[in-house]
Amino acid sequence: MKLFGKKNETKLDQLDQAEKAVNKGLTGLLTKAFVGKEQMDQINSSIQNAKNATLASEGAIPEVATATVTAIQDTGQLVNYDPMVILQLNVVEPGREPYAYRMQTLVSKLQIPRVGDVIRLGANPADASQFVYLGICG
């Protein structure tokens, strides 16, 4: 029995609701009043990273580059028990020379990349100049 039609919501719908709750209406106003700007930026960044991870897991973001992990650092943040990490990468895009790139991303705790691993990158739907982590190659 479906009460109030909440059973068929996708993960993206739920993330949109979370973003609205944090940023709009009375709840958003109270959140902004009691939480500092830095923490609000972290909350919004975590929601955006979770949206990108959901899109990537659904195959909605095409692969545009690969990269070799040169360093990894834990930020201490968790989203649904998955860690947020900072990756130092050596990116290889078709038709370009390899270059260094740094990104903060959400990774599955089952597939945390290690130094030397090759990962897949997609174009960020919100900002084409940035990448989205798509997972480990292979």
Enter the tokens of residue 114.
């290690």
Facing residues of 102 across strands?
88
Cβ distance 113 to 136 under 8 Å? yes
Mean pLDDT value of segment 47-61: 74
CA distance 80 to 51: 13
pLDDT in tens, 78-117: 888 989 999 999 999 999 999 999 999 989 899 999 999 9
pTM over 0.75: no
Note the pLDDT tens digit of each residue in 11-50: 777 777 877 878 888 878 888 788 888 888 888 877 877 7
Residue 7, pLDDT score: 64
- For residue 41, the model assigns a pLDDT of 84
Flag whether pLDDT at 1 surpasses 60: no
Select the more confidently predicted residue: 3 or 62: 62
